[in-house]
Amino acid sequence: MTAGFGVWAGLNATAFNTAPQSVSSGTLSLTLADHGVGFSSSIANLAPGDTVNRYVDLTNGGNLDAQGLTLAVAASPAGTLVTDGTSPATRALTVAVSSCSTTWTAATGVCATSGTVTPLITATSLSALSSATSLISGTVANGATEHLQISVQLPNQSETTTNGSAPATTIQGQSVSLTYTFNEAQRTATTTNS
């Protein structure tokens, strides 16, 4: 009986791209800048019916488009200027937001010539703005700037101070610190064929 020997031979082939393919990720960046005094200046001595407008510019400075621009306002402490003792709050501070397609003239509150004003949030109580509220649900293009007017108002109302004593739920002599948080999400993910 003879033993058999096997010989196996194989072929191999390799292919590769001679120049490496470059792949890079995009960036999403949202920046806030005061226009006029913006948020850097306090608001003092509001009387019922007063409205104070402040102006800020939000820029999507990354190279990716964004979507779903939102605003949340944190108010501290949560006193009568936030909740005012009524439900829903009707005498507490409200915030409204409008956008100008060009730029605001901060000294006059006028949207510059040929600009269009778009209301984004109507007067809304601080307690309702404590969670994210939609400003723009659609696309915010990369490089785009939103020119915003933030209106803070103490609603028109009356209360009576008797013998020098204000009511228990007075809005007089109160203060609150407001922190505005703007957020945007990346655009919807895409599949590209080429």
pLDDT tens by residue, 132-160: 999 999 999 999 999 999 999 999 998 89
Give me the pLDDT at residue 1, please.
60
Looking at every residue in the chain, the average pLDDT score rounds to 92
Give me the pLDDT at residue 50, please.
97
Whether residue 63 is predicted with pLDDT greater than 70 in this model: the reply is yes
User: Which runs of E-coded beta strand occur in the chain?
Assistant: 30-35, 51-60, 66-76, 94-100, 104-105, 110-111, 117-125, 133-140, 145-153, 177-186
Q: Which domains does the chain have, with CATH numbers?
A: 30-157+174-183 (2.60.40)
Report which of 130, 134, 127, 123 is spatially closest to residue 88, judged by C-alpha positions.
127
pTM here?
0.87
Whether residue 14 is predicted with pLDDT greater than 70 in this model: the reply is yes
Whether residue 120 is predicted with pLDDT greater than 70 in this model: the reply is yes
